[in-house]
A and B are shown apart, each in its own frame.
Chain A
């Protein structure tokens, strides 16, 4: 149906345009990409990068979030820093990344990491903070050790908030990835996007954009939203 809207728009406005392309051309370009394997490589490259970085972000973010609760200095250091980092749009990190890491993979990894780690850190910290006091008292009255209390009570209780943070972090990671890929010459969807524009291959450009949207929605739906819903349902928070 959207194709119809698109086609109509094209007919009405884009006939003479050099840049606006009709849907059939775009779909044709998409099919071509898929057929000759380029799309696959691009996807793998981009997804691989984001998977790696995001995992790193999750691990370091969780650690940082946890430490900022248990250690006053970490909180003092990290607190305002996280806020600042979060406020800066990912693309603004690219120049600095290039200077520090050169024009390669490392720069992108850095950008993705720094773009998404904030969400995870905040989610971990806030998730653990909002654990109701009653749960802590229950753990205490049953004689649970600190370790038992952390793993059997605090972490499960913090999970809903943490998972929401994961979802948010993912969307930041994906955006950061594209910011990096668009500006740097590495294999991947972002680069293909830029190249298409430079080569005036506009159908291909739009095709890549469609793929980007699809991937983002798919991963969100299939992984993060699912996870979030599952956790919330089990914790009895469904429908809130």
Chain B
């Protein structure tokens, strides 16, 4: 485990005692995190893809030697530019894909396949258009074999949590993007998974809807204490929501740094220290962006050092799509 976090990291320690005393639920210490146990463990995970055939065949290394742990109840963000293998990594943790090398452990056991204890929320929500909101939320429960009454009650509870009770009989095509993602969230939470894997869930939404959903997700997390692995290409999002940020690099996909975010929850999104952290993380990306710029532009196009990570409003946003 990348235990480089300083002692006063303030990283989550979900202690029921703390909560009862009305303390902010995330005010624990590093040692508390160890005590809570590891939900997911990755060791040396690598994966490559083949594309093309014969002479043109070309091996693309999506992930190389990824190792880190995810602690119980932690909110972990995976941040990186396009092509750094974040989505592949999520699929591997979920069991939807197999790594070519390395191991993935979930609660101490090697991951065999996909299942509702490591549930994925996809970027395109994946709601079934022929089912109402309520029936969509009930889907996972139906798979689990709950009877009608139980399904209805649980679905109602989680729909209320995402504030969509009024729309329970609507169809997905009648909903906005934000509403669809909230439905997807309710559907996922309804099966009460151990770990929630979110693959850029808010990427397709406009910034204001995203702001709303950030607050919503934060509240839900504080309420449910779920372990969340959140993939995003927005450093802003990661800094707002997570306890630790795994900064990834591309070509090949690998872990660059793991950065703790030692601010208490619930967070003030406009906290200047948060902004500072964001700027610092963006510095990490300069090298990545230079690669991107080289790949996608003329030879004489360079990024001026510090142009990305400069403090707002002077920064030039070149497609990390923070959008804010």
Contact = CB atoms under 8 A, between A and B. Distances in A.
A141 B129 contact: no
B128 A157 contact: yes
A137 B172 contact: no
Contact of B114 (A141, A156, A236): A141
Contacts of B173: 235-236
A71 interface: no
Interface in B77-131: 94, 96, 113-116, 118-120, 122, 124, 126, 128-130
Interface residues of A, number: 19
B93 to A, nearest CB: 11
A142 B130 contact: no
B116 A143 contact: yes
Nearest to B191: A142
Given A134-B126, A157-B128, A236-B173, A141 B143 contact: no
Contact of A159 (B130, B140, B143): B130
B68 interface: no
A6 interface: no
A156 B143 contact: no
Interface string B154-176: 00000000000000000111100
Interface in B163-193: 171-174, 191
A127 to B, nearest CB: 13
A143 B115 contact: yes
A227 to B, nearest CB: 14
Given A137-B122, A236-B173, A143 B114 contact: yes
Nearest to B184: A138
A141 B172 contact: no
A77 to B, nearest CB: 27
B139 interface: yes
Contacts, number: 58
A236 B130 CA distance: 8
Contacts of B120: 137, 141
A193 B94 CA distance: 65
Interface residues of B, number: 25
Contacts of A144: 143
A134 B123 CA distance: 10
A56 interface: no
Interface in A134-151: 134-135, 137-138, 140-144, 148
A20 interface: no
B225 interface: no
B129 A236 contact: yes
Given A142-B139, A143-B115, A234 B128 contact: no
B142 interface: yes
A144 to B, nearest CB: 5
A153 interface: yes
Contact of B119 (A142, A148, A156, A235): A142
Given A143-B114, A234-B171, A134 B119 contact: no
A138 B143 CA distance: 12
B116 A235 contact: no
Contacts of A235: 129-130, 173
A152 interface: yes
22 contacts: A135-B126, A137-B114, A137-B122, A138-B126, A138-B128, A140-B113, A141-B96, A141-B114, A141-B115, A141-B116, A141-B118, A141-B120, A142-B191, A143-B114, A143-B116, A144-B143, A156-B128, A234-B129, A236-B129, A236-B171, A236-B173, A236-B174
Interface of A: 134-135, 137-138, 140-144, 148, 152-153, 156-157, 159, 234-237
Given A141-B114, A234-B171, 9 more contacts: A137-B120, A141-B116, A141-B118, A142-B139, A143-B116, A143-B143, A148-B143, A153-B128, A236-B173
Q: What 4 pairs between A and B have smallest CB-CB spacing?
A: A236-B173, A138-B126, A134-B126, A140-B114
